[in-house]
Structure formats: structure tokens, C-alpha cells
Amino acid sequence: MSSPFNNTVGIDEDLPVTRRGNIYPAIDPEPLYAARSYSGKVVLVTGASRGVGRETALQYARAGASVAIVARTEDALGETRDIIVAAVPGADFLVLAADVRDVESVRTAVESVLRHFGKLDILIANAGAITSFAPLLNKKDPNAWWNTFEVNIRGVFNVISAAIPALEKTQGYIIALSSIGAQLRFPGASDGCITKHAVNRLIEFVVLEHPSVRAFALAPGQIPTRLATETGAIGDGGVGAPDSVALPAATMLYLTSGRADWLSGRFCSSNWDMEEVERDWKDVIIEKGGLLNKLYIPSL
């Protein structure tokens, strides 16, 4: 059966390090849990009702952080709340309803975090959307296509813009969820790929304009979300085998630990072995401005 992923361009445009699909020693969060390394830190996670957002909120809570979980409705966060309560008795967390597309809704949520916790140390901009991969450009519903931009670009901008004043005070961190699709081209995926590419660029401007804040655009890996499963994006005929949802969450704990501040302002992938990235690629990435969006001009 024909698949849009048969014509994917860019699969080979990747950092040549070991590909990881699950937690591995360099980013193992268990020592962080045992030491409660994030005790005293306040983390805000959008899109926390399921998937990567839920797992990320849970991992930060297990590591001792106070966590604010955000989704469009509080009802959608019920299961996330119950999971955190069961796994981390006595966890300090806040449940908030906010639509990231609505700037006032987002500002109110950030203000609630600051009133409740007194500060903000880490923002995880995880909420995202995409239309089906099936229709080509001329068959896409324009409103559905543009909604992807409303969530993935406006939504990410809204939460970053609202949180930056608090994050500058704590010299905090931002992680915006990107995608390997930001670097790929395949039919039917224009809205998702374009918006995630723009997220990468937005993160570059965050650190340019607010250098006291560390920020990363992180591809979570091939996570078997409902949409990815329904569209065949993962598995046979797709763009990769499924990865553990724990992988991107653990990668985020690693990135906000201070061990990878040299990657601030850049795109990175949860699938990359971070120990190898630092050991083998750090110097050349810094020297040549790697993992940034640039116009490629081939040599004559």
C-alpha cells in the first residue's frame, strides 16, 4: 500500500551518533529521583493531559519539582493528576486550564503559577497539533491547516512570551517541543513540518534576545501518539520505529540540569545519545554554529 512516507526527503540529514529509543545511562533520571535534584524548582508543562506532557510532568515531580500542569480543560488533566498523586505522595502541583492559542488564557495561567509557587524555573512548551498527513496542499482544509500554526507557533510564542519575565529572574529554562519532521519533507505534512521548523527558529531568537534564559528545541522522537498511529507515521511504512514516551521526558530533565547549556538556542533530538553528542560533536557544533537554521550554499 502506498504511503506518503515513501517519498520522505531528509531521513539521512541527521547527526551520526547512536540512535536511542529508550532511557539510557547518560540521561537516566533515577539518580535525580533519589536525590530529589529538582527540589525547589517550579516547572510549567503545557499539553500535560497525555503522552509526552504527562510523562514529563511525572518525571519532574518524581525528581522533587513543583509542577503546574496545563491543558485546555481541567477535566482532561484528571488522569495526569491521579498518576502524579499515586507516584509522588505529597507532590506539590497545580492544575490549570488554558488554551495556548489564547494569549489572555495563557497569561492568566502563568500568573496563577507565580501566585501559587512564587516563581517559575522551567517551561515545557509541549502542546501541539497537526492535521492528517493524507491530503496534499490543494486538498487541505485551510482552517484545519492554519490551526496547526495557531497551536504550534502562536501557542508556543504565547507561553514563552508570558513566561520569559519570570524565567529571566530565575535564569531558567525553556524547552519547546519540535519534531524530526522539522527537518523532513514528505507529501501531506506541510503544516506540521513548517510549524516545527519555525519553532526551531523561535528558540534561536529566545536566546538572542534573552541571553539569561537557556532554551532548546527538542524533537521528542517517534512517540506513538494517536495521530502518529492512525496516519502510519510510526512503524512499518512510516518514518521510524516507536520510541518510549519516557525518553523525551528524561532528555528534558537532562537538558534542564545544567549539563547541556552549551546546546542552548539549538535544535536537538531525544534520539541522539547525548553523551556522544557532547564527547564527539560539542567543539565542532560550537565552532561552526551547528544545529541552527541556515541557508545551505553548496561549494563550487
* Model confidence pLDDT, tens digit, residues 75-84: 999 999 999 9
The reported pLDDT for the residue numbered 89 is 96
Cell 535525580 belongs to residue: 32
Tell whether the model's pLDDT for residue 200 goes beyond 70.
yes
CA distances (Å), origin 5, targets 198, 219, 227, 235, 240? 21, 18, 15, 11, 10
CA distances (Å), origin 130, targets 12, 153, 209, 290? 23, 12, 29, 27
Q: Please list, residue by residue across 129-152, b when 16 or more beta carbons sit within 10 angstroms of its beta carbon and e when fewer do.
A: bbbebebeeeebeeeebebbbbbb
Residue range 195-216: average pLDDT? 98
Residue range 283-291: average pLDDT? 97
The reported pLDDT for the residue numbered 231 is 57
Tell whether the model's pLDDT for residue 131 goes beyond 80.
no
Tell whether the model's pLDDT for residue 24 goes beyond 50.
yes
DSSP sequence for 154-169: IIHHHHHHHHHHHHHH
Instruction: Work out the pLDDT band at 238, boundaries 50, 70, 90.
Output: low
CATH topology of domain 19-288: Rossmann fold (3.40.50)
Tell whether the model's pLDDT for residue 297 goes beyond 50.
yes
Closest-CA residue to 118 (of 212, 40, 213):
40
The reported pLDDT for the residue numbered 183 is 85
Q: What is the pLDDT of residues 208-225, one digit of tens each?
A: 999 999 999 999 999 987
The burial class, CB within 10 Å (0-12 / 13-18 / 19+), for 105 is middle
The three three-digit cell numbers of residue 274, written as one number: 547525548
Kindly report which listed range (130-134, 164-168, 177-181, 191-195) carries the lowest average pLDDT score: 130-134
CA distance 191 to 131: 7
Instruction: Work out the pLDDT band at 206, boundaries 50, 70, 90.
Output: very high
- Listed by start position, the domains of the chain span 19-288
The three three-digit cell numbers of residue 60, written as one number: 519532574
Average pLDDT, the chain: 93
The three three-digit cell numbers of residue 182, written as one number: 522539522
Instruction: Work out the pLDDT band at 3, boundaries 50, 70, 90.
Output: low
Tell whether the model's pLDDT for residue 132 goes beyond 80.
no
Instruction: Work out the pLDDT band at 1, boundaries 50, 70, 90.
Output: very low
DSSP sequence for 207-221: HHH-TTSEEEEEE--
Could you tell me which residues are beta bridge partners of residue 267? 217
The reported pLDDT for the residue numbered 22 is 98
Q: What is the pLDDT of residues 150-186, one digit of tens each?
A: 999 999 999 999 999 999 999 999 999 999 888 888 8
At 191 the three-state DSSP class reads helix
The reported pLDDT for the residue numbered 134 is 74
Q: What is the pLDDT of residues 5-16, one digit of tens each?
A: 667 776 778 999
Residue range 7-30: average pLDDT? 91
Residue range 247-268: average pLDDT? 99
Instruction: Work out the pLDDT band at 129, boundaries 50, 70, 90.
Output: confident
How many other C-beta atoms can be found within 10 angstroms of the C-beta atom of residue 289?
Answer: 10
